Amino acid sequence: MILVTGGAGFIGSNFVLDWFREHDEGIVNVDKLTYAGNLTTLKSLSHDTRHVFVRADIGDAAAMASVLAQYKPRAVVHFAAESHVDRSIHGPAEFVQTNVVGTFTLLEAVRAYWNGLDEEARLAFRFLHVSTDEVFGSLEAADAPFSETTAYAPNSPYSASKAGSDHLVRAYHHTYGLPVLTTNCSNNYGPHHFPEKLIPLMIQHAIEGKPLPIYGDGRNVRDWLYVTDHCSAIRTVLSAGRVGETYNVGGWNEMANVDVVGLLCDLLDELKPKAGGSYRDQIKFVPDRPGHDRRYAIDARKIERELGWRPAETFETGLRKTVQWYLANQDWVQGVTTGEYRTWVETNYSQRH
């Protein structure tokens, strides 16, 4: 069995579902079920004995020790994190608590558990920490993409808190010998994405006839990674990655935000045409957010060279699958867009009109 933290969130739930398409090995899934955690995403596993769900906070030392002692996992895959940059600007304390203190508490519990294993189990054990390219800061247009040796330069409370967690994971390997692996990924997209992030937010606003708010001039560039490609990369690193190493995971798909929204509108014009005009007519530029990084780009050659991994989806194929999924799963979307979420979107974007 493996232990997955944050397995009811966007990437975590996709990883859990994808895992059982590839493996019969069980998962104990630990999630606090904050606003972004959604068990309905995992309803297909409700009677699957391979999947055990535990509602707990990674910052609860006693709960983490209990889960580890009871289920005796051979590995931990650590997704659990607060991850929305805008939310971190409005309320940074929660990001420090979850991403830094929570990761520290989890590492302490895992270290104690690992120290109690027999020699064979200790050698086989892995702690895989899932992080972000945002820890590296911002690139200029002509700069080389981020590599595994790029210096950290986080620019938001979110990215600073993730950088802190990365440093703790590294320190627990070098100080205590804990067998860790770290992945730093680019922007994920795909099914089951909470509709506060760019792509699902724009899909929902478009079909609901609302403005499509784009920060600044829209030329901020991101590398886009389809979520199931990310899941396959994590499985690859978990099974074959070298202990103590970091692997950048990217989609080789750099694109400006305004171009992403334009492609979304074109797909919606094709798949769900509206009467009179294009969805592009709903695009509205709004004042930029504070400290908005200009460009992220991932150099993912190391994971390809050492482990043979490359993404299977292009941005065009992945985006089409994503739009089709959201159009076909409006019940899921309506189920997660609670009053709290609607209040958040209104608070964030009304200030930028």
Q: So which residues are the catalytic ones?
A: 133-134, 158
Distance separating alpha carbons of residues 93 and 81, to the nearest angstrom: 13
Q: Quick one: CA torsion of 172, 177, 178, 180, rounded to 10 degrees? A: 80
Distance of CA 57 to the CA centre of its chain: 18
Distance separating alpha carbons of residues 277 and 105, to the nearest angstrom: 53
Angle at which helices 103-115 and 157-176 cross, to 10°: 20
Contacts of 279 (CB under 8 A, 6+ apart): 206, 212, 264, 265, 268, 269
SS3 string, 228-296, reads HHHHHHHHHHHHHCCCCCEEEECCCCEEEHHHHHHHHHHHHHHHCCCCCCCHHHHEEEECCCCCCCCEC
Q: Are residues 249 and 236 in contact, defined by beta-carbon separation less than 8 angstroms?
A: no
Spell out a b/e string for 208-244, using b for 16 or more CB atoms within 10 Å of the CB, else e. Answer: eeeebbbbbebebbbbbbbbbbbbbbbbbbbeebeee
The conformation of residue 298, written as its DSSP 8-state character, comes to B
Q: Kind and range of the H or E element at 155?
A: none
The alpha helices in 23-91, defined as continuous H runs, are 61-71, 85-90
Distance separating alpha carbons of residues 330 and 156, to the nearest angstrom: 32
Distance separating alpha carbons of residues 235 and 307, to the nearest angstrom: 11
Sort 199 into a burial class: Cβ within 10 Å, 0-12 / 13-18 / 19+.
buried
